[in-house]
Amino acid sequence: MQAFGGVITVAQQKGGSGKTTLAATLAVGFRRLGARVALLDTDPQGSLGRWFMTRRERLGDDPALEMSTASAWGVGYECDKLRRLSDIVIVDTPPKVDSDLRPALRAADLVIVPVAASHLDLWATEGVLDLCAREKRPVAIVMNRVKARTRLGAEIAAAAADLHAGIAQAQLGYRVAFAESMGMGLAAQELPGATAAHREANALVDEVATALAREA
């Protein structure tokens, strides 16, 4: 029995903010902690599914990493099923915020909202934060594609902290390992030599695991 568990939904209206990358990073991170992980792709683009199939071809079958898809309205039922079989369920969502997103938020024990370091991304979080508040779901904003020591990065992080949604301490930098690994069906933690990406991904996984701690 893991000391943590639950459903993580990754959501953000802005396209390309890093939802699918974060979903894969968390999946591999939780597998490395020994958890059974189920992925649920609700995005018709199917990027997470593509990543999973690429991974499977590369590494073979991992019985503790499952992948399924669901329509927006099937999410609740699918999550109920998956959480019985897995420690962690990770739901990837399409880049829009409308009533279709509600079942994926409702099913979540934690909603992760990636914000790439731009004002456009930050402005786009309002909708998902509103919906999370209505569904009374805990939220963690995760700063992604952060360029170290830039004024914009610091400004966005400060503005995100003002949104009164939880903001994760862990941040992912703008690093080629995050982009490159996805096409290989891997996560940045699995690329040799990508030390900074490893450190950032591990810190994020630890923080999320703590947020999903279960009573022993």
**Which residues would be at the binding site for ligand ATP (CB under 6 A)?**
15-21, 43, 45, 47, 95, 144-145, 172, 174-175, 178-179, 182
Which residue's CB is nearer to Mg ion, number 5 or number 75? 75
Residues 79 and 29 sit within 8 Å (Cβ to Cβ)? no
Which residue's CB is nearer to ligand ATP, number 87 or number 140? 140
Tell me the three-class secondary structure of 177-213, residue by residue.
HHHHHHHCCCCHHHCCCCHHHHHHHHHHHHHHHHHCE
Closest CA to 76 of 40, 46, 47: 40
Which residue's CB is nearer to ligand ATP, number 112 or number 165? 112
Tokens of 29: 């991170």
Residue 68, H or E segment: strand 65-69
Q: Is 20 in the site for Mg ion (CB under 5 A)?
A: yes
Q: Is 12 in the site for Mg ion (CB under 5 A)?
A: no
Which residue's CB is nearer to Mg ion, number 91 or number 146? 91
Which residue's CB is nearer to ligand ATP, number 144 or number 189? 144
Tokens of 110: 């934690």
Dihedral pair phi/psi, residue 201, rounded to 5°:
-65, -45
Q: 47 to 76, contacts with Mg ion by CB under 5 A?
A: 47
Which residue's CB is nearer to ligand ATP, number 21 or number 86? 21
The residue range among 39-47, 69-77, 120-128, 203-211 that interacts with Mg ion, by the rule CB under 5 A, is 39-47
Residues 6+ apart with CB under 8 A from 114: 10, 12, 17, 18, 19, 21, 22, 121, 141, 142, 143, 144
Least distance (Å) between residue 198 CB and ligand ATP = 13
Residue 186 CA from chain centroid, whole number: 15
Give which of ligand ATP, Mg ion, none residue 16 binds (C-beta under 5 to 8 Å, depending on kind). ligand ATP
Give which of Mg ion, ligand ATP, none residue 55 binds (C-beta under 5 to 8 Å, depending on kind). none
Residue 72 CA from chain centroid, whole number: 17
Least distance (Å) between residue 106 CB and ligand ATP = 20
Q: Is 202 in the site for Mg ion (CB under 5 A)?
A: no
Tell me the C-alpha distance between 9 and 6, whole Å: 10
One of 9, 13, 17, 19 touching Mg ion (CB under 5 A): 19
- Residue ranges in contact with Mg ion by CB under 5 A: 19-20, 47
